Amino acid sequence: MQRLRQRADFLSAATGLKVPTPAFVLQSRERGDDGPIQVGFTVSRKVGNAVQRNRARRRLREVVRLADPAWMSAGHDYVLVGRQGALKLPFDRIQDDFRGALRRAQVRRPAVNRPTDPTTVTRRGNGETISQ
């Protein structure tokens, strides 16, 4: 498991799947390769002062360190965005939330049914359908 450190990696992970929990938001993104799992941590100033943010970040890092790597998929980036609950909730609860968030992140959403020929149907903002 490797750490995410570049801002661009954090921004690209933010475009992926988001799973909220009381202590953190798990952002997951498939990179498209079979490289190692990469994990990043961030905590905003909304959580508190520097001491509180660092404490929340340490707790989240420990949750990931103790987690079974088999729960995470190779070729994925994961970012844990700390929330106020990371300071207040019992550590066992945060670990359970992390396992649950990883399970929910691995559930694939069904593909949206789209017409095979995009030029046949066009929908306007007012709900009107026109054929081309």
Q: How far apart (Å, rounded) are the C-alpha atoms in residues 113 and 50?
A: 47
Q: How far apart (Å, rounded) are the C-alpha atoms in residues 12 and 19?
A: 16
Give residue 129's pLDDT: 56
pLDDT category, 73, cuts 50, 70, 90?
Answer: confident
The residue-averaged pLDDT of 2-11 equals: 93
Give residue 124's pLDDT: 55
pLDDT surpasses 60 at 116: no
Nearest to 26 by CA among 75, 66, 77: 77
For the stretch 31-57, pLDDT in tens is 888 889 999 999 999 999 999 999 999
**Residue 4 corresponds to which amino acid?**
L
Give residue 121's pLDDT: 52
Give the E-state strand segments of the chain in sequence order: 2-3, 17-20, 24-30, 38-43, 76-82, 121-123, 129-131
Q: Which residues pair with 18 in a beta bridge?
A: 27
Give me the chain's average pLDDT, please.
85
CATH topology of domain 2-109: Ribosomal Protein S5; domain 2 (3.30.230)
Which distant-in-sequence residues (6+ apart) come within 8 Å of 44 by Cβ? Answer: 53, 81, 82
Give residue 109's pLDDT: 42
Domains in the chain: boundaries: 2-109
Length, in residues, of the chain: 132
Give residue 33's pLDDT: 86
Nearest to 80 by CA among 131, 10, 32: 10
Contact 91, 59 (CB under 8 A): yes
pTM for the full model?
A: 0.77
pLDDT surpasses 50 at 110: no
